[in-house]
């Protein structure tokens, strides 16, 4: 540590309680009182060095020879500093250091100890020593810390600004270019690390690079630290270095920054190294100041630290502008965040959800706004699963955020208070092209449906629209095809797109096999075409096996989702057909209808002409109709027109052949045991349907076989 020694005389002062005496042998003729301390001195040494003291002594001069008393309550540095000044006036040896130079310089200015009175006065010596101190990092730092005691005078004399500028220039330079001693705050750490073994230090020199000054400046007060950060920014320091210093400073003075906020890892928190424990109000003010000092450049501050700042701001109830600032900073680099960081707990008193979903929504909205999403560069098409995986290797920022959103939804989906509207808002915020695969959003949807079993069919359909069935992987498609929580329409879409992708893969493999057979390049390099053909054949067999498995799953789904009874089959057999003027067109329409059933019920609902009306108007024979696997007589005693028996909403049967029907099981038993020529069903709305017993029973098994329905009667219908 630098020092300056002044004076040549030996010590001539001694202290007795709250009084300082000068042992020069002459009686004291003036007393200077500073607070509770008294200095019994002599006039001549003081007035020969201080213009202020000379003025006050002259104003209070008296002819009676009494001892004068001067009050210097406003003296910078107080009694401790005046002790050094008094010794300087007497020529006694004193030592100026970085710890006392600021107070001495301010006190000398207050006492007007300049060159106008005598050459080589205290002000000139103090200025010379200050310039020497400014060449040393540690001494400058120590001098700046002492400015708090005489802040107003130090600012007037520009001592604070000169210290700040000196530190800023040194922080931006190589520490080897100037004299940097060990900081007093790190002195103990340095000594502990230097363990001698046989006279040889065992510790290795650790190079901190551009971070060497972080710990030193972290001990500055907030006002000085803020001035320092602004100074280093003005001289061109890298934003990354400024951000690193802010992290160290925040962790030291905001204990809540070191508090663990996660519900998952609450036991893994480690206490931080803090100087003291300030109040929440002080921490809140400090946090708001640090947020204002954060660099504006994107990516210079770790997203993890920004999220931790945001959580602390919520806990300390910082100003809305501070929290909004942090949310925007997190949103600007949301693609660099991790899922655990974004699971911000709800810290309010009247909250519904476990996590602060609204905060995440605002962060996501800001990210999407700066991304300026105008149109999707990706056009959905049926592609092979391997191509989808390959395209996901080149992850963009929006793709990373899409994965974060899917993971976030999956984590918060089990919350029973998580509203469907918020789930849809978050899931639909990310465009479809940002998801190379829809496995993540499917997982989130499945978890949400499992945690919210009370959702209606319409709500389930709405939430399933968030995922793209054609982007599901093979594992996800297999799971979705067996998922009872999904609507039937979604399951059919999943199986349809998987079959279409399978067909595309098989077609591509056959195309490759033809090229392998006709390729001349393989012959030139000596490759055997049969090897490639064997691989293609094996792949085709594997795909065919997968296709058969998918067909079996489809049959299970149809059996589970839409159970059929004997009467549902009969109503299907005699559903309406379109009119045609010629018999061959009618027959083709019947075949087309049977084919149309395989693609959904929507086709059948559009046929609004029943077979009975067509038979009566065109005069077709019963034998021809039987070839179409159908025979029906539909009568209505009251309304006078044929009955239209639809596929979905079959009318209720009240009586069979004049006997009342109690339930479906009893009706099935009566039909099976019926040996009469006709089956006469009395339906609701005074409708009657009559079927020919022999031909109806003969046609039913054939229709069941054609449409992959396992049996005419299920176990719950059998007696």
pLDDT (tens digit, 9 = 90+) per residue, 65-78? 677 888 888 999 99
Using 50, 70 and 90 to split pLDDT, how confident is the model at 183?
low
What average pLDDT does this structure show over 94-112?
Answer: 94
User: Is residue 510 situated within a structural domain?
Assistant: yes
**What pLDDT digit, counting tens, does each position of 340-350 carry?**
989 998 876 65
- 671 φ/ψ sector (left φ>0, alpha ψ -120 to 50, else beta): alpha
| CA distances (Å), origin 366, targets 313, 363, 371, 403, 428 | 19, 5, 9, 17, 15
pLDDT of residue 700: 61
In whole angstroms, give the CA distance from residue 129 to residue 274. 34
Are residue 395 and residue 434 in the same domain, yes or no?
yes
Q: How far is CA 431 from CA 205, 382, 608, in A?
A: 52, 18, 41
Q: What average pLDDT does this structure show over 610-634?
A: 36
Query: Do 557 and 636 share a domain, yes or no?
Result: no
Q: Is residue 141 part of a domain?
A: no
432 and 525 belong to one structural domain: yes
Contact 153, 76 (CB under 8 A): yes
Rounded CA-CA distance 548/554 in Å is 10
pLDDT tier, 406 (very low <50, low <70, confident <90, very high otherwise)? very high
Residues 531 and 551 in one domain: yes
pLDDT at 119 over 60: yes
Can you give the pLDDT at residue 166?
Answer: 94
Establish if 160 belongs to a structural domain. Answer: no
When pLDDT is averaged across residues 687-696 and rounded to a whole number, the result is 78
Band (pLDDT 50/70/90 cuts) for residue 555 is low
Give the long-range contacts of residues 610-617, CB within 8 A, separation 24 or more. 610/574, 610/575, 610/576, 610/577, 610/634, 610/642, 610/643, 610/644, 610/645, 611/574, 611/576, 611/577, 612/642, 613/642, 614/577, 614/579, 614/586
For the chain, the average pLDDT equals: 74
Asked if residue 629 has pLDDT above 80, the reply is no
Q: What is the mean pLDDT of residues 260-264?
A: 48
Supply the pLDDT for residue 66: 73
pLDDT at 514 over 70: no
Do 270 and 123 share a structural domain?
A: no
Give the CA count within 13 Å in the CB-facing half-sphere of 4. 21
Whether 366 and 331 have beta carbons less than 8 Å apart is answered as yes
Task: Please give the residue that has the higher pLDDT: either 629 or 319.
Answer: 319
Bridge-partner residues for 14, per DSSP? 21
- Per-residue confidence band for 168, with pLDDT thresholds at 50, 70 and 90: very high
What's the burial of 274, exposed, middle or buried (CB within 10 Å: 0-12/13-18/19+)? middle
pLDDT, residue 533, reads: 61
446 and 541 in a single domain? The answer is yes
Query: What is the pLDDT averaged over residues 533-544?
Result: 67
**Average confidence (pLDDT) over 249-261:** 79
**What number of CA atoms fall less than 13 Å from residue 517's CA on the CB side?**
8
Mean pLDDT of 551-562: 59
User: Cβ distance 517 to 533 under 8 Å?
Assistant: yes
Residues 525, 581 within the same domain: no
pLDDT greater at residue 707 or residue 83: 83
Asked if residue 630 has pLDDT above 50, the reply is no
For residue 27, the domain's CATH number is 3.30.710.10
So what's the pLDDT on residue 351? Answer: 64
Provide the 8-state DSSP code for 615. Answer: H
As given in the structure block, the two tokens for residue 3 are 């020092």
Are 546 and 578 members of one domain?
A: no
Q: Which of 292, 262, 490, 506 is nearest to 384 (CA)?
A: 506
The whole-angstrom distance between residue 227's C-alpha and the CA centroid of its chain comes to: 33
d(CA 592, CA 585): 10
Tell me the mean pLDDT in the region 203-212. 59
214 within domain boundaries: no
**What number is the average pLDDT over the span 48-77?**
84
In this predicted structure, the answer to whether residue 701 has a pLDDT above a threshold of 80 is no
Per-residue CA distances from 65 to 313, 386, 407, 445, 552 (Å): 67, 108, 91, 99, 123
Q: Which long-range contacts (CB under 8 A, 24 or more apart) does 124-129 make?
A: 125/4, 125/6, 125/96, 126/96, 126/101, 128/4, 129/2, 129/4, 129/96, 129/101
- Residue 147 belongs to some domain of the structure: no
694 domain-assigned: yes
Residues 407 and 524 in one domain: yes
The answer as to whether 396 is a domain residue is yes
Distance CA 13, CA 28 (A): 12
Same domain? 495 vs 594 = no
Treating both helix axes as pointing N-terminal to C-terminal, what angle do 529-561 and 488-518 enclose, rounded to 10 degrees?
170
The predicted pLDDT at position 712 comes to 43
Please state which of the ranges 7-21, 144-158, 507-521, 671-685 shows the lowest mean pLDDT: 507-521
- Whether the Cβ atoms of residue 593 and residue 577 lie closer than 8 Å to each other: yes
- CA dist list (Å): 299 to 216, 265, 306: 25, 26, 11
Structural domains counted in the chain:
4
How confident is the model over 372-400, as a mean pLDDT?
Answer: 53
Q: Out of 340, 371, 402, pick the residue that ends a domain.
A: 371
Confidence of residue 209 (pLDDT cuts 50, 70, 90): low
- Domain match, 285 and 338 both: yes
Give the residue, 659 or 576, on which the prediction is more confident.
Answer: 659
Residue 166 lies in a domain: no
Percent of all residues in the chain with a pLDDT value above 90, rounded to a whole number? 30
Q: What is the pLDDT of residue 367?
A: 92
- Phi, psi (deg, nearest 5) at residue 679: -105, 115
415 and 538 both lie in a single domain: yes
pLDDT at 530: 52
**Residue 171 pLDDT exceeds 70:** yes
Q: Label residue 649 by pLDDT band (50, 70, 90).
A: very low
Query: pLDDT tier at 532 (50, 70, 90 boundaries)?
Result: low
pLDDT at 186: 53
Q: Which of 227-231, 492-496, 624-628 has the highest mean pLDDT?
A: 227-231
8 A C-beta contact, residue 670 and residue 659: yes
Three-state SS annotation for 507-565: HHHHHHHHHHHHCCHHHHHCCCHHHHHHHHHHHHHHHHHHHHHHHHHHHHHHHHHCCCC
Cα–Cα distance between 524 and 514 in angstroms, integer?
17
The whole domain housing 46 covers: 3-133
Boundary of a domain, candidates 541, 561, 581: 561
Residue 181's pLDDT is 55
Residue with tokens 């001539």: 12
Tokens of 13: 């002062």
Residue 660 half-sphere exposure, CB side, CA atoms within 13 Å? Answer: 1
pLDDT digit string, tens, across residues 470-493: 888 888 888 888 888 888 888 887
Angle in degrees, 0-180, between the axes of helices 320-332 and 280-293, rounded to the nearest 10: 40
Report the distance separating Cα 8 and Cα 461, nearest Å.
96
- As given in the structure block, the two tokens for residue 299 are 């990516």
Cα 593 to Cα 689: distance, rounded to the nearest angstrom: 22
Among 168-177, 187-196, 255-264, 324-333, the range scoring the smallest mean pLDDT is: 187-196
Q: Which of 338, 371, 404 is the last residue of a domain?
A: 371
């Amino acid at each position: 540590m630098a020092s300056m020694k002044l004076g040549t005389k030996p010590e001539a002062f001694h202290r007795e309680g709250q009084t300082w005496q000068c042992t020069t042998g002459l009686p004291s003729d003036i007393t200077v009182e500073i607070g509770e301390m008294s200095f019994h001195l002599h006039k001549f040494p003081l007035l020969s060095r201080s213009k202020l003291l000379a003025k006050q002594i002259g104003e209070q001069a008296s002819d009676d020879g009494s001892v004068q008393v001067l009050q210097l309550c406003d003296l910078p540095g107080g009694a401790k500093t005046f002790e050094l000044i008094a010794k300087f006036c007497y020529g006694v040896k004193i030592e100026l250091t970085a710890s006392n130079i600021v107070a001495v310089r301010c006190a000398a200015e207050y006492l007007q100890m300049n060159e106008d009175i005598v050459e080589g006065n205290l002000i000139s010596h103090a200025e010379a020593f200050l310039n020497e101190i400014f060449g040393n990092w540690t001494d400058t730092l120590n001098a700046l810390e002492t400015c708090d005691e005489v802040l107003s005078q130090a600012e007037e004399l520009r001592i604070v600004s000169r210290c700040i500028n000196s530190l800023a220039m040194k922080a931006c330079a190589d520490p080897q270019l100037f004299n940097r001693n060990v900081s007093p705050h790190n002195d103990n750490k340095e000594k502990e690390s230097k363990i001698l073994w046989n006279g040889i230090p065992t510790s290795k020199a650790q190079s901190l690079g551009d971070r060497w000054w972080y710990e030193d400046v972290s001990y500055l007060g907030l006002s000085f630290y803020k001035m320092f950060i602004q100074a280093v920014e003005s001289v061109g320091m890298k934003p990354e270095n400024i951000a690193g210093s802010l992290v160290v400073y925040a962790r030291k003075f905001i204990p809540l920054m070191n508090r663990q906020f996660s519900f998952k890892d609450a036991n893994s928190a480690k206490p931080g190294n803090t100087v003291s424990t300030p109040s929440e109000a002080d921490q809140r003010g400090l946090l708001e100041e640090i947020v204002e000092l954060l660099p504006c450049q994107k990516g210079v501050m770790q997203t993890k630290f920004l999220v931790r700042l945001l959580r602390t701001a919520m806990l300390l109830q910082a100003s809305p502008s501070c929290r909004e600032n942090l949310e925007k900073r997190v949103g600007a680099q949301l693609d660099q965040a991790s899922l655990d960081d974004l699971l911000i707990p709800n810290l309010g008193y009247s909250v519904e959800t476990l996590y602060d979903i609204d905060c995440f929504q605002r962060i996501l909205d800001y990210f999407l706004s700066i991304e300026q999403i105008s149109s999707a560069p990706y056009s959905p098409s049926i592609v092979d699963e391997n191509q989808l995986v390959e395209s996901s290797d080149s992850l963009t920022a929006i793709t990373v955020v899409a994965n974060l959103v899917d993971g976030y939804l999956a984590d918060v989906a089990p919350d029973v208070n998580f509203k469907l509207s918020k789930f849809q808002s978050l899931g639909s915020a990310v465009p479809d092209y940002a998801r190379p695969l829809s496995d993540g959003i499917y997982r989130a949807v499945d978890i949400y449906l499992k945690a919210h079993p009370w959702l209606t069919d319409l709500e389930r359909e709405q939430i399933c629209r968030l995922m793209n069935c054609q982007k599901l992987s093979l594992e996800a498609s297999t799971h979705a095809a067996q998922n009872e929580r999904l609507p039937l329409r979604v399951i059919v879409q999943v199986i349809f797109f998987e079959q279409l992708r399978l067909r595309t893969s098989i077609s591509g493999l056959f195309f490759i096999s033809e090229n392998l057979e006709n390729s001349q390049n393989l012959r030139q390099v000596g490759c055997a075409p049969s090897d490639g053909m064997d691989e293609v054949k094996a792949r085709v067999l594997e795909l065919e096996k997968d296709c058969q498995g998918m067909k079996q799953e489809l049959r299970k789904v149809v059996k589970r989702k839409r159970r059929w009874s004997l009467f549902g089959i009969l109503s299907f057999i005699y559903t309406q057909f379109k009119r045609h003027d010629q018999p061959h067109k009618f027959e083709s329409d019947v075949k087309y209808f049977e084919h149309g059933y395989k693609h959904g019920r929507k086709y059948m609902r559009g046929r609004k002409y029943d077979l009975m009306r067509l038979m009566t108007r065109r005069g077709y024979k019963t034998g021809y109709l039987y070839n179409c696997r159908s025979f029906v007589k539909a009568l209505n005693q009251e309304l006078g027109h044929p009955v239209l028996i639809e596929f979905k909403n079959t009318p209720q049967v009240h009586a069979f052949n004049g006997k009342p029907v109690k339930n479906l099981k009893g009706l099935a038993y009566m039909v099976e045991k019926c040996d009469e020529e006709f089956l006469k069903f009395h339906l609701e709305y005074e409708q009657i349907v009559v079927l020919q017993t022999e031909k109806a029973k003969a046609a039913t098994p054939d229709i069941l076989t054609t449409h992959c329905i396992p049996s005419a009667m299920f176990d719950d219908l059998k007696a």
